[in-house]
Amino acid sequence: MKKAKLVFIPAPGAGHLVSMIEFTKQLLSRDDRFSVTIIVIKSPFELSVNSDTSSSLPSHPHIHYIHVPTVSPPPPELFLKSPEKYYTFYIESHKSSVKEIILNQVLAESVSLAGLVVDMFTTSMVDMVHELGVSSYVFFSSGAGFLGFVLYLQNRHDRGGAEFEESDPEWDIPSYAHPVPSRVIPGFAFNKEGGYMSFVNIGRKMRETKGIIVNTVFELESHAVSSLSDGETPPVYTVGPLIDHKWVNPFRCDQSQRDKIMKWLDDQPAKSVIFLCFGSSGCFGAPQLREIAVGLECSGLRFLWSVRKAPKMLGVPTDYTNPEEFLPHGFLDRTRDLGLLCGWAPQVEVLAHRSIGGFVSHCGWNSTLESLWHGVPLVTWPLSAEQQINAFQMVKDLGLSVELRLDYRRDRGDHHLVVADDIEKAVRSVMDGDGDVRKKVQEMSEKCRRAVVEGGSSFGSLGSLIEAVLANM
Confidence class of residue 255 from pLDDT cuts 50, 70 and 90?
confident
In single-letter form, the type of residue at position 425 comes to: K
The two domains 4-240+453-470 and 255-448 share their CATH topology (first three levels equal): yes
Residues in the chain: 473
Task: Output the average pLDDT for the chain.
Answer: 90
Q: Is 364 a residue whose pLDDT tops 70? A: yes
Tell me the H-state helices in 244-364: 255-266, 286-299, 331-334, 347-351
Whether the bond into 241 is cis, omega within 30 of 0:
yes
DSSP character at residue 184: G
The CA distance from 473 to 219, in Å, is 32
Burial 291-303 (b: 16+ CB within 10 A, else e): bbbbbbbebebbb
Query: pLDDT tens across 314-352, in order?
Result: 667 777 778 888 899 999 999 999 999 998 899 999 999
Alpha helices in 41-193 (DSSP H): 76-81, 83-92, 95-101, 126-131, 144-158
By CB atoms closer than 10 A (0-12, 13-18, 19+), residue 267 is exposed
Per-residue pLDDT tens digits for 158-213: 999 999 998 888 999 999 999 999 999 999 999 999 999 999 999 999 999 999 99
d(CA 471, CA 473) in angstroms, rounded, equals: 5
Q: CA 205 to CA 335: how far, in whole Å? A: 52
- The residues, any chain, with a CB within 8 Å of residue 290's CB and separated by 6 or more, are 326, 327, 328
Half-sphere exposure of 129 (CA within 13 A, CB side): 25
For residues 244 and 115, the model is more confident at 115
Mention every residue, 6+ apart, whose C-beta is less than 8 A from residue 215.
19, 23, 139, 140, 141, 142, 143, 239, 240, 241, 242, 365, 366, 369
pLDDT of residue 416: 81
What is the bridge-based pairing of β-strands 401-403 and 308-309? unpaired
Ordered strands of the 339-342 beta sheet: 339-342, 302-306, 273-277, 356-361, 378-380, 401-403
For domain 255-448, give the CATH superfamily.
Answer: Glycogen Phosphorylase B; (3.40.50.2000)
Angstrom CA distances, 465 to 114, 244, 403, 434, 462, stand at 12, 21, 36, 40, 5
Each residue of 91-147: pLDDT tens digit? 999 999 999 999 888 887 766 789 999 999 999 999 888 888 889 999 999 999 999
Q: Determine how β-strand 4-9 pairs with β-strand 112-119.
A: parallel
Q: Of 153 and 413, which is predicted with more confidence?
A: 153
pLDDT at 100: 92
The pLDDT tens digits of the residues spanning 416-431 come to: 899 999 999 999 999 9
Extents of the domains making up the chain: 4-240+453-470, 255-448
* CATH class, 4-240+453-470 region: alpha beta
Q: What is the pTM of this model?
A: 0.93
* Displacement of CA 290 from its chain's centroid (Å): 27
